[in-house]
């Protein structure tokens, strides 16, 4: 399996290094034949090539079996015309990574804020309120006058249908329940279309239960009773916000794993940002990117029908669970390890 590794900004290089130590340990144990190629994105890419993500990197990603992307400081990228482009957006749009899968679960041995739960958010990844990806050319935001700004939202039947199908297929491997999160009581046309497509897809999965919750009420329901939910399917911005909430309820945003997947490509990416305030201090939790990389291995294993990759992913998940129970973790989830040693602790468990 050939992986393109893009460390990113801020804490990105640190958590990426910890993740690579885990992947190398999994490679030794399971014989995965991993081939790692690294390239600079973010500010490192600007210094090296004058682009936060050089066009050559997208072509390298097309030829790879998967991508590992560290966090990037997209807020600081001000001028796309001069190469300051969001690498995550560029990859998602160029490779058509329409499904952003974000799991959240609790772990034994860690303080439970809302009791035990295990859910997954299937977030549409290529349109919605995100102005940098919902237009063929230009931006979905317009400054009409200095005092008037407009942001456009795009919802299509095609994108709604395929994220719904991804959610139902995922639910079939889990507890067989899908919840649509929407605001169709107000956004009757756009969220109404999204709901219609989800309901249409549901007919192909008669063994999967379906319900729906309005997005603002959903925030209360998840805090009150996260055990109620299995797979949550929703549009881009709702899923982005909701997944940060569920990750924090599970213990820490530092454990927020995610996989960006399309029909032919996938990218592991921690769901959080680059945290420049703690960069270089060896305190960032690497579990988010480690768990994301495990999701990438499992995706590849299902795609090429190679059970060794799914076994390696399961072993990484178990190693993280054991590390949390033993408090071999960073400080945000009750341990005393640094970023590097927390990654080493997972690698060591895989070797054992």
Q: Per-residue pLDDT averaged across 299-312, rounded? A: 97
Domain layout of the chain by residue ranges: 1-99+257-352, 112-250
pLDDT at position 175, please? Answer: 97
Among residues 9, 73, 240, 328, the one annotated as catalytic is 240
Classified by CATH at the fold level, domain 1-99+257-352 comes out as Isopropylmalate Dehydrogenase (3.40.718)
Q: Per-residue pLDDT averaged across 193-201, rounded? A: 98
Among residues 73, 183, 230, 238, the one annotated as catalytic is 183
> Identical fold at 1-99+257-352 and 112-250?
yes
More confident residue, 82 or 120: 120
pLDDT at position 169, please? Answer: 97
pLDDT at position 95, please? Answer: 95
Q: Which CATH number fits domain 112-250: 3.20.20.70, 3.30.450.20, 3.40.718.10, 3.40.640.10?
A: 3.40.718.10
Tokens of 304: 């090429």
Is the per-residue pLDDT at 80 higher than 90? no
pLDDT at position 82, please? Answer: 82
pLDDT at position 335, please? Answer: 92
Across the chain, what does the average pLDDT equal? 94
Among residues 73, 130, 191, 344, the one annotated as catalytic is 130
Among residues 118, 244, 282, 332, the one annotated as catalytic is 244
Give the predicted TM-score (pTM) of the model.
0.92
Q: Per-residue pLDDT averaged across 41-70, rounded? A: 94
Q: What percent of the chain has pLDDT over 70?
A: 100
Q: Is 183 marked active-site?
A: yes
CA atoms within 13 Å, Cβ hemisphere of 324: 26
Tokens of 100: 């952003």
Give the burial string for 202-213 (b: 16+ CB within 10 Å, else e).
Answer: beebeebebeeb
pLDDT tens digits along 167-193: 999 999 999 999 999 999 999 999 999
Distance between CA atoms of residues 119 and 227, nearest Å: 8
pLDDT tens digits along 91-125: 998 999 999 999 999 988 777 778 899 999 999 99
Q: What percent of the chain has pLDDT over 90?
A: 82
Distance between CA atoms of residues 346 and 56, nearest Å: 33
pLDDT at position 304, please? Answer: 95
Among residues 188, 211, 216, 327, the one annotated as catalytic is 216
Is the per-residue pLDDT at 136 higher than 80? no
Grade residue 252 by pLDDT with cuts at 50, 70 and 90.
Answer: confident
pLDDT tens digits along 213-250: 999 999 999 999 999 999 999 999 999 999 999 999 98
pLDDT at position 130, please? Answer: 82
pLDDT at position 348, please? Answer: 96
Q: Is 216 marked active-site?
A: yes
Q: Is 27 marked active-site?
A: no
pLDDT at position 104, please? Answer: 95
Distance between CA atoms of residues 260 and 103, nearest Å: 12
Residue 270 near residue 253, CB atoms below 8 Å: no
Q: Is 107 marked active-site?
A: no
- For residue 344, give the 3-state DSSP assignment: helix
Tokens of 178: 């899908």
Order of all β-strands in the sheet with 2-6: 35-38, 2-6, 66-69, 266-269, 259-261, 99-105, 118-124, 231-234, 177-182, 209-214
What is the bridge-based pairing of β-strands 118-124 and 266-269?
unpaired
């Amino acid at each position: 399996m050939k992986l393109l590794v893009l460390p990113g900004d801020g804490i990105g290089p640190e958590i990426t290094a910890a993740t690579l130590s885990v992947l190398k340990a999994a490679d030794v144990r399971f014989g995965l034949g991993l081939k790692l190629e690294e390239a600079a994105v973010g500010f490192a890419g600007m210094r090296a090539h004058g682009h936060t993500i050089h066009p050559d990197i997208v072509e390298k990603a097309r030829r790879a079996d998967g991508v590992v992307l560290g966090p990037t400081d997209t807020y600081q990228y001000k001028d796309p015309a001069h190469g300051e482009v969001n690498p995550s957006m560029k990859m998602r749009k160029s490779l058509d990574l329409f499904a952003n899968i974000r799991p959240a679960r609790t772990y034994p041995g860690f303080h439970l804020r809302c009791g035990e739960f295990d859910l997954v958010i299937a977030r549409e990844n290529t349109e919605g309120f995100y102005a940098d990806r919902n237009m063929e050319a230009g931006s979905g935001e317009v400054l009409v006058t200095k005092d008037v700004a407009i942001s456009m939202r795009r919802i299509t039947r095609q994108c709604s249908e395929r994220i719904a199908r991804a959610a139902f297929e995922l639910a079939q491997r889990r507890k067989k329940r899908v919840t649509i999160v929407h605001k169709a009581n107000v956004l009757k046309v756009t969220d109404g279309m999204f709901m219609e497509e989800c309901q249409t897809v549901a007919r192909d999965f008669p063994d999967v239960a379906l319900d729906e919750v309005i997005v603002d009420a959903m925030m209360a329901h998840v805090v009150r009773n996260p055990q109620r939910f299995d797979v949550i399917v929703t549009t881009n911005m709702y899923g982005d916000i909701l997944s940060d909430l569920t990750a924090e309820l599970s213990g820490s945003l530092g454990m927020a794993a995610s996989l960006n997947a399309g029909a032919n490509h996938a990218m592991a990416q921690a769901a959080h940002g680059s945290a420049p305030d703690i960069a270089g201090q060896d305190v960032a939790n690497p579990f988010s990117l480690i768990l994301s990389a495990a999701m990438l291995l499992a995706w590849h294993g299902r795609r090429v029908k190679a059970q060794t990759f799914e076994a390696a992913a399961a072993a990484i998940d178990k190693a993280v669970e054991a590390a949390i129970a033993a408090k071999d973790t960073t400080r945000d989830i009750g341990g005393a390890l640094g970023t590097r040693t927390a990654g080493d602790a997972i690698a060591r468990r895989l070797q054992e």
